[in-house]
Amino acid sequence: MPAKFPALTRRHLLASAAAVGALAAVPLAAPGVFAAAHDRPLALPQLDEGRVENGVRIFDLAIRGGQTEFFQGRPADTIGINADYLGPVLRMRTGETVRMNVTNDLGVTTTLHWHGLELPAWCDGGPHQPIDPGQTWSPEFPMRQRAGTYWYHGHHMGHTAEHVWYGLAGVIRVEDAEADALNLPATYGVDDFPVVLQDRWFTRNGQLNYAPRMPDVMMGMSGDVALANGTPQAFVDVPAGLVRLRLLNGANASFYDIGFSDGAAFWQIATDGGLLAAPVQRDRVLLAPGERAEILVDMADRTTRELIADLVPIGGGMMGRMMGSAGGTLRFLQLRPTGAATGGQVPARLTSLAKPDPTTALRTRDFELNMGGMGMGMGMGGGGFTINGASMDDTRIDETVRMGEPEIWRIRNPSPMAHPFHIHNVQFRIVDRNGRAPDPGEDGFKDTVVVNSGETVRVLLTFTENADPEGPYMYHCHILEHEDAGMMGQFVVV
């Protein structure tokens, strides 16, 4: 175990649970100071193809502590997977069998969850698959997803937010024959880039310090420094042609309204669960924590442009105003078209997707998201964050769903904030929001859906495999502080 990690364990991981707000939360600088330098090359995670043995694609992943110089000369204690901060991009193909050998060299118990994948419950990596220090956990499962951008992150009960804040997350890149045939930009690090979008705040010494106070639990933890793959002030050289960005909102809590500083239009080609039927031309895409979008931007005009995100105020009504929802703009990544002209065509069509047909559902299941008991006296991790009136209890099964039966899950949000609702082990379709059809950029496969304050969202889903009465999956708010505070429930597929 690297010597520096126990220091992180003692000083932060254990202390932060109790010592709330004890350390001075002084931002390193005002956001404006960092506005436009873009003098740091974008970190490109290792592209990990694993190794194939007896037809199984095997990935060896070690979760460990590390040190990351977000600011020169001020190394921060961080967590990574085979790296100091974040982890490799895991590349695999639809239909393969994959095995993940996940070793925990962290010094504290954690988990690794495969977000967006349909897999047996014992492979899910949620709260029921803790990996103790020094142990290796080896789930093996068929890769059933369509080509697309999925991800993995820590999911230890009560510690998801903390572990992800320090860096315990990475991207999964799935490919298949249908997507290959489209000739989209797909050369890693050349015209195809994963972009993990996160915001963090740092202490004066450049340390990440996860010590949420009551308002941080309410609103979720956010910061003033924009990180792209862990790089502040990032730039990247790109060819003068079509460039593909695989965007992941890997923030704990912030909702990003993403676009380019010059208002350039782009094409959204994929949602959480892979390709849309056709590219959707737009100049903004909203991603809440946990959501992904793949976009194509045409750099043939050789204009240097910045990928930015306006912070969306997620609090509605009086409570939102009271809590002072964040505003402002994070300037994530500058694209510099320095390379050769590569051209490239945006295909007119991508795949065939049937319209979701709600009349196929055999039943409707109701979920209500609440932040009741939001008194000012509520402490960190205190009650009040509920789904259908109950806080997460890992000994209670909230829903039993029958395999193969289409259902509508109707999610109501009477609370004063928006919540991104995520369901494990499924890719669903959005039927409607308050009775209105989803916008074209959401009309694909999803595993996480924003439910705004006052909204009712209906999704259509079927758990097609993986029945296991003993193995619970989670559904929860993907604002990680809300998840840890109890806005999570469990279901089994039988």
Q: Which residues bind ligand C2O (CB under 6 A)?
A: 113, 115, 126, 153, 155, 290, 422, 424, 474, 476, 478
Joined together, the tokens standing for residue 100 give 């993940």
Judged by beta carbon, residue 7 or residue 157, the one nearer ligand C2O is: 157
Give the Å distances, CA to CA, from 429 to 354, 378, 443, 449: 10, 36, 7, 10
By CB under 5 A, which span of 67-75, 141-149, 395-403, 474-482 interacts with Cu ion? 474-482
Instruction: State the Cα–Cα distance between residues 203 and 59, nearest whole angstrom.
Output: 35
Shortest gap between Cβ of 130 and ligand C2O (angstroms)?
14
Shortest gap between Cβ of 487 and Cu ion (angstroms)?
5
Shortest gap between Cβ of 138 and Cu ion (angstroms)?
19
**Residue whose C-alpha is closest to residue 391's, from 372, 410, 409:** 372
By CB under 5 A, which span of 109-117, 203-211, 257-265, 388-396 interacts with Cu ion? 109-117
DSSP class of residue 6?
H
Shortest gap between Cβ of 326 and Cu ion (angstroms)?
15
Angle (nearest 5°) at CA 261 between 478 and 149 = 40
Going 460 to 466 to 467 to 468, the CA torsion angle's sign is: negative
Joined together, the tokens standing for residue 346 give 């945006």
Judged by beta carbon, residue 64 or residue 155, the one nearer ligand C2O is: 155
Binding-site partner at residue 446 among ligand C2O, Cu ion, none, CB < 5 to 8 Å by type:
none
Binding-site partner at residue 290 among ligand C2O, Cu ion, none, CB < 5 to 8 Å by type:
ligand C2O
Judged by beta carbon, residue 314 or residue 423, the one nearer ligand C2O is: 423
Instruction: State the Cα–Cα distance between residues 418 and 265, nearest whole angstrom.
Output: 27
Binding-site partner at residue 482 among ligand C2O, Cu ion, none, CB < 5 to 8 Å by type:
Cu ion
One symbol per residue from 396 to 435: x for binding Cu ion (CB under 5 A), - otherwise; what is it?
-----------------------x----x-----------
Instruction: State the Cα–Cα distance between residues 234 and 37, nearest whole angstrom.
Output: 8
Shortest gap between Cβ of 153 and ligand C2O (angstroms)?
6
Judged by beta carbon, residue 289 or residue 344, the one nearer ligand C2O is: 289
**Which residues partner with 364 through β-bridges?**
408
DSSP class of residue 42?
P
Give the Å distances, CA to CA, from 272 to 1, 104, 247: 35, 28, 10
Shortest gap between Cβ of 475 and ligand C2O (angstroms)?
8
Shortest gap between Cβ of 463 and ligand C2O (angstroms)?
15
Binding-site partner at residue 200 among Cu ion, ligand C2O, none, CB < 5 to 8 Å by type:
none
Judged by beta carbon, residue 38 or residue 115, the one nearer ligand C2O is: 115
Shortest gap between Cβ of 263 and ligand C2O (angstroms)?
31
Judged by beta carbon, residue 9 or residue 222, the one nearer Cu ion is: 222
Q: Does residue 425 contact residue 437 with C-beta atoms inside 8 Å?
A: no
Instruction: State the Cα–Cα distance between residues 401 and 365, nearest whole angstrom.
Output: 10
Q: Does residue 282 contact residue 383 with C-beta atoms inside 8 Å?
A: no
DSSP string, 203-260: -TTS-B-----HHHHHH----SEEEETTEETEEEEEEEEEEEEEEEE--SS--EEEEE
- Among residues 146, 200, 446, 482, the one that binds Cu ion under rule CB under 5 A: 482
Give the nearest residue (CB) to ligand C2O: 115
Instruction: State the Cα–Cα distance between residues 102 and 136, nearest whole angstrom.
Output: 5
Binding-site partner at residue 477 among ligand C2O, Cu ion, none, CB < 5 to 8 Å by type:
Cu ion
Binding-site partner at residue 155 among ligand C2O, Cu ion, none, CB < 5 to 8 Å by type:
ligand C2O
Judged by beta carbon, residue 199 or residue 483, the one nearer ligand C2O is: 483
Binding-site partner at residue 476 among Cu ion, ligand C2O, none, CB < 5 to 8 Å by type:
ligand C2O
Judged by beta carbon, residue 200 or residue 478, the one nearer Cu ion is: 478
121 lies in the binding site for Cu ion (CB under 5 A) = no
Joined together, the tokens standing for residue 232 give 């502040």
79 lies in the binding site for Cu ion (CB under 5 A) = no
Instruction: State the Cα–Cα distance between residues 265 and 288, nearest whole angstrom.
Output: 20
By CB under 5 A, which span of 110-118, 233-241, 254-262, 298-306 interacts with Cu ion? 110-118
Provide, for the chain, the percentages of residues in helix, strand and coil under a 3-state DSSP scheme, each rounded to the nearest 5: 10, 45, 45
Shortest gap between Cβ of 387 and ligand C2O (angstroms)?
13
**Which residues partner with 196 through β-bridges?**
248
* CA dihedral of 11, 16, 18, 19, whole degrees rounded to 10: 80
Binding-site partner at residue 458 among Cu ion, ligand C2O, none, CB < 5 to 8 Å by type:
none
- Among residues 479, 480, 488, 493, the one that binds Cu ion under rule CB under 5 A: 479
- The torsion angles phi and psi of 136, rounded to 5 degrees, stand at -120, 130
Judged by beta carbon, residue 146 or residue 482, the one nearer Cu ion is: 482
Instruction: State the Cα–Cα distance between residues 479 and 345, nearest whole angstrom.
Output: 37
Judged by beta carbon, residue 269 or residue 392, the one nearer ligand C2O is: 392
Instruction: State the Cα–Cα distance between residues 292 and 275, nearest whole angstrom.
Output: 11
Binding site for Cu ion (CB under 5 A): 115, 419, 424, 477, 479, 482
